[in-house]
Amino acid sequence: MTTRTPNTKLRDAVAESGLTYAAVAREVRSVAAECGVTLRTNKSTVEHWISGVTPAGETVRFLAVALSRRVGRLLTPADLGLAVRQTDDESMGLSLAADPMEALMPMWKYELDRRRFLTTSAYSVAAAALPLSHVREIAGRSAAAQSGRVVGMAEVEAVRDMVRVFSEMDERHGGAHGRSALVQYLSDDVAALVRGRFRTDDVRRQMLSAASRGVHLLGWKSYDAGQQGLAQRYYLQSYSLAAESGIAGHDGFVMRTMAMQGLKLHRPEHCQALAETGLNRAKGKVDVQTEALFRVVHAHTLAKSDQRRAALAEAERARALLVSDCGDEVPFWALAWGPPAASVYSRTAKVHEALGDHLAASEQYERAARARPSGTYARIVALDLVAGAEMQLKRGGIEQACATWNRAMDHMDGVQSVRTRKAITSMRRDLARFHARGVRCAAELDERAVDFLTHRS
């Protein structure tokens, strides 16, 4: 009979967290779910761990994240008396180095080698605050590549064009489509250009900004695949490239994205500070449409913290900026989700949703869906319609909601997206009670949903 040694480090960490064993199990399941992994961890499982049993597979890391969030500081598996594979660097991508490429290159290698370590990494609350403390000035790189090649604006435009192609492909077909090709392009072509010699300092700044946009897209693809920890790491490195570029507003735009991710994951820590800091770094330095994008996300963070009056006032400022559009060109990096007006409408809907105004939210989601070319932005149009249908259902309009859900599904053909599949699964749960009552539109829509989930990957 094997005698186990009780894990006193884990026992003490659980005691410090103040959680019961059942609550620890619940938090571990929650972290795993964020990473797209389903666990059946329960109170007995935690008891076994403390008695000396080692958690299986990636569960070690999910446990470390869950307890870190609770105690308010980073706990590694080693701190919990547990071992992980030495080949995996838990901090990969979770820092802001002088050269972002030093963080990105090993991450891209892991992606291309199909390693699960990063794709199952969890969102880090501590890392979300990194841009807020990144106050030092980033000096220009002194060690340029010695290839002899001089990079000019033609190369910058080529990178922008290629990222634009990948972005349009992503919106039309989902985050899973073309992901490896994007990783390969960034690691093989863009990395070399970023480390090249430049005709002027402005060319260098524009190239760094273009590279940041490409890495931002890779973060978005990871987000769409449900890989939240990996998405966060890419956003951090996108921020680092944008900050180094010195392009006014671009670093703040990535902070805005990070605030959006935190809100979506119900991790409000730092979200308002990220949105507000991003806005402060951009206002007065960007065109009015881009400033509206910053303001409406700030409004959402205010709504999430129950600052109703301030949230509505900020949302109105965003709307007023759209109306006052002077025709100035929107920068390349601000077009990540298509027409700014559509993004403002969609985020305004989330402000109203957070404040409990479901009628206003459904109207704004509908407005957002109509403001985007549906052929190019199939996925995001579908998700806006799904959100609108949920608001209609909350107001008791089952027939109206079913009609909107059907429109959403019309846009989902050919889209490979974890988020769209989750939206359909959630829709089926919402419809279940109406289906059971024999509501015809609910039964027909559920049948369509089953077919969608069965025949589309």
Residue 138 clears pLDDT 80, i.e. is over it: no
Give the side-chain half-sphere CA count within 13 A for 443.
Answer: 6
Helix segments in 18-58, DSSP class H: 21-34, 43-51
How many Å apart are CA 171 and CA 261, to the nearest integer? Answer: 18
- Residue 18, phi-psi category: left (phi > 0), alpha (psi -120 to 50), beta (remainder): left
Contact yes or no for 115/227 (Cβ under 8 A): no
**Of the listed ranges 186-190, 280-284, 310-314, 363-367, the one predicted with least confidence:** 186-190
The whole-number pLDDT of residue 120 equals: 55
Confidence of residue 123 (pLDDT cuts 50, 70, 90): low
Angle, alpha carbons 372-265-218 (nearest 5°):
55
Do residues 388 and 400 make contact, with C-beta atoms less than 8 angstroms apart? no
Supply the pLDDT for residue 3: 66
Q: What whole-number distance in Å separates Cα of residue 25 and Cα of residue 349?
A: 34
Q: Per-residue pLDDT averaged across 260-279, rounded?
A: 90
pLDDT tops 90 at residue 66: no
CA dist 334 to 404, 414, 453, Å?
A: 29, 26, 33
Q: By three-state DSSP, how is residue 197 classified?
A: strand
How much is the mean pLDDT over the chain?
A: 84
Predicted pLDDT of residue 112? 63
**141 has pLDDT over 80:** no
pLDDT of the residue at 134: 45
| Angstrom distance (rounded) from CA 264 to CA 123 | 11
CA distances from 265 to 217, 269, 356, 388, 428 (A): 19, 11, 19, 19, 21
Q: Which is more confidently placed, 423 or 127?
A: 423
- Binned at pLDDT 50, 70 and 90, residue 116 comes out as low
Classify 5 as helix, strand or coil.
coil
Label residue 88 by pLDDT band (50, 70, 90): low
Tally: H helices and E strands in the chain: 23, 2
Q: Residue 238 — very low, low, confident or very high, per pLDDT cuts 50/70/90?
A: very high
